[in-house]
Chains A and B, each alone.
Chain A
Amino acid sequence: MFSKSKPMWGKKTKLKSSYDVVLIGGGLHSLATAYYLAKEHGITDVAIIEKNYIGYGGAGRNTAIVRANQRTQYNVPLYKEALDLWPVLTKELDYNLMFNNCGNLNLMHSEAAMNAARMTIATAQFHGVESHLIDAKEAKELVPALNISEDITFPIHGAMFHPPGGVVRHDAVVWGLAKGASKLGVEIHQQTEATGINTKNGKVTAVVTDKGVINTKQVLISAGGYSAALIHGFLGIKLPISVLTIQAMVTQPLKPILNHVVSSGAYHCYANQTLKGEIATGAHMDQWPNYTTLNTAHYIKHQAEALSEFLPALRGVRFMRIWGGLADMTPDMAPIMDGNEQVEGFFMDCGWGYFGFKSCSAVGRHMASFMATNTCPDILKPFALKRYQEHKLMGETAALVSYTPDN
C-alpha cells in the first residue's frame, strides 16, 4: 500500500514546510472538506495528514447506511443535502459510488415508539424529506422476511419508511473524493501522524507531525473517533464526547431476501443485504469507552439472537467477517462543528458517532466554506460547542433517561 508505486488517486508528493490549510485525519470529512476547499473556493494549497492510510478509520469500517430522517430541524436539512449529493458527486467525481436508494425501514416496537415516529415523520415531511408511517402488515409486504408475530421479545407495531435512503459504497466515496481532491491539487500524506498544534497569541501557527513541522494558519481536526483525544491532547480543549467501539459483521452471501435497510432500536440491530448477497449488520456500541475496535462474543451472540427473532429466515446463517470501529458519541447524539472560537484558525468537526458517513459530503462542503471565508454558515451554527454550556442540546435523542456514554 505504501510501496513506491503511485497511489490510485494521484501523485505522491513531498511534505512541504507550509500549507494554507492542514486537515488532520484521512477520513471522509477531511477528504470532503479538502475537495470543496479546492473546488468551490480555489484553495488548493491543502494537506491532509493521515496517520495510517485513508479509510483506515470509520470511513472504511462503517455499514454504509445513508438517510435523512433525523429528529430535529437543525439536523434534517444537513442530512437531506448530503443525501441529495450522492448522485451529484457520482457524476462530478466520475466515480461509481454505488448509491442504492433502496429505502430504510425503521421498526417500531411499541405505541410510544409509533408516536415518536409520527413526530419525526412530520419533521421530515416539513423539510421535504419523504418519510411515512406504516403498520406491521405493510412492513411485512415490503419485507416478507420480517417476523410480525406477537410472540417475539419486541413485537413489531409498525415502521417508519424512508424511501430515498439506502446504502452507498463507503470505500468508493473515500477513493472518489481522494481522487477528486488530488486532481485539484490537494496533497494527501499517509503514514504521517499529527502530534501537536502550535499556537501563538491565541492563533494557530503550525501543525507538528512525526515527519516535521508544518506552518499553517488554519487547521481542521476531523479525525473521526480519534478527534476528542487529539483535541484535548493538542489544545487542552475538553469535549462532551465518549469514544466507544462499535461492531459490525456480514453473513455468508444469500439469494436476495432483503430489499431495504431494516433497523430496530429496541433490538439494537440493523441490517441490509449487500449487492454481493451478504447480510451486513451492525450492533449497538460497547457500554464503556474504549479504543480497542475489537469484536466481542457478547455482541456476536446479541446480533445472532436479534436477527433470528425479527428476520427468522436468517437462523443458522453464518457470519463470515466481523470488525469494529470507533463511535465518538455526544450527549445529544449530534455532532460538534466549530471554528475560530477556542483558538483562531482552529476548526473541529467531530462527535459524529455512528452517523458520520451519511453526512460527510454536505458537512465537507460547509466546513470548507467556513474555513475559506472565516464565517460560520448558518446551517452549522447550532452545532457549536457552546451549546452544551448554554444548555441548548439538540434533541436528536428523544429523552435522556439515564445519561450514559452511549445514551
Chain B
Amino acid sequence: MALTITCPICGKRNGYEFRYGGEEKGPRPDEKDLTPESWCDYVHMNRCVAGVQQEWWFHRDGCGSWFTIFRDTTTNLEKETPEAKE
C-alpha cells in the first residue's frame, strides 16, 4: 500500500519524500510553571492511536514545509477530518 501525503504547497506526493514529525500535541508549553512532567509529556509522550490521528510532516525532499494532516494509522490513508471513516 502506497502512502501519499498532501503538502499544502506541492499537493499530493509520494510519502517517502516526507519525514514524519510526530503526533500533534498542541502548543509548546509555557516556560513559566514548566515541570519535568509537563515537559516530558510534550517531548516524549504519545497516544499511539490505532485509527485517525492528527500529525506533523516535513516535506524534506520538497519545499521544506511543516504541516499537519489527519491519517488513519491502521491503513496509512490520509483523511480529510478527524472523524473520517473508511
Contact = CB atoms under 8 A, between A and B. Distances in A.
Whether A and B are associated in the same complex: the answer reads: yes
B48 A229 contact: yes
B1 A228 contact: no
Contacts of B46: 228, 238-242
Interface string B21-40: 01000000000000011001
Interface in B31-70: 36-37, 40-41, 44-50
Interface residues of B, number: 22
A115 interface: no
Contacts of A328: 48
B48 A292 contact: no
B53 to A, nearest CB: 8
Interface string A231-264: 0100000111111000000000000000000000
Interface string A131-175: 000000000000000000000000000000000000000000000
Interface of A, secondary structure class, is loop
Interface of B, secondary structure class, is loop
A201 B74 CA distance: 35
B50 A229 contact: yes
B3 A289 contact: no
B1 A291 contact: no
Contacts of B22: 405
A243 B41 CA distance: 17
Most buried by A among B22, B44, B49: B44
Interface string A204-247: 00000000000000000000001011001000001111110000
A298 B16 CA distance: 9
A294 B40 CA distance: 32
A77 interface: no
A3 interface: no
Interface residues of A, number: 27
Contacts of B45: 238-240, 388
A239 B75 contact: no
Contacts of A292: 1, 74-76
Nearest to A289: B73
Contacts, number: 65
A296 interface: yes
Interface in B1-29: 1, 3, 15-16, 19-20, 22
A240 B46 CA distance: 6
B48 A289 contact: yes
A404 interface: yes
Contacts of B48: 228-229, 232, 239, 241-243, 289, 328
Contact of A296 (B1, B40, B49, B74): B1
B60 to A, nearest CB: 10
A125 interface: no
Contact of B73 (A240, A287, A291, A389): A291
A193 to B, nearest CB: 13
10 cross-chain pairs, A with B, having the tightest CB-CB distances, nearest first: A240-B44, A238-B45, A288-B20, A228-B48, A389-B40, A229-B48, A389-B36, A229-B50, A291-B74, A291-B50
14 contacts: A228-B48, A232-B47, A238-B41, A239-B46, A240-B40, A240-B44, A241-B48, A243-B48, A287-B19, A291-B50, A292-B74, A296-B1, A390-B36, A391-B36
Interface of B: 1, 3, 15-16, 19-20, 22, 36-37, 40-41, 44-50, 73-76
Given A229-B48, A238-B46, 20 more contacts: A229-B49, A232-B47, A232-B49, A238-B47, A239-B46, A240-B40, A242-B46, A243-B50, A243-B73, A291-B50, A298-B16, A388-B40, A388-B44, A388-B45, A389-B36, A389-B37, A390-B36, A404-B19, A405-B20, A405-B22
Interface of A: 226, 228-229, 232, 238-243, 287-292, 294, 296, 298, 328, 331, 388-391, 404-405
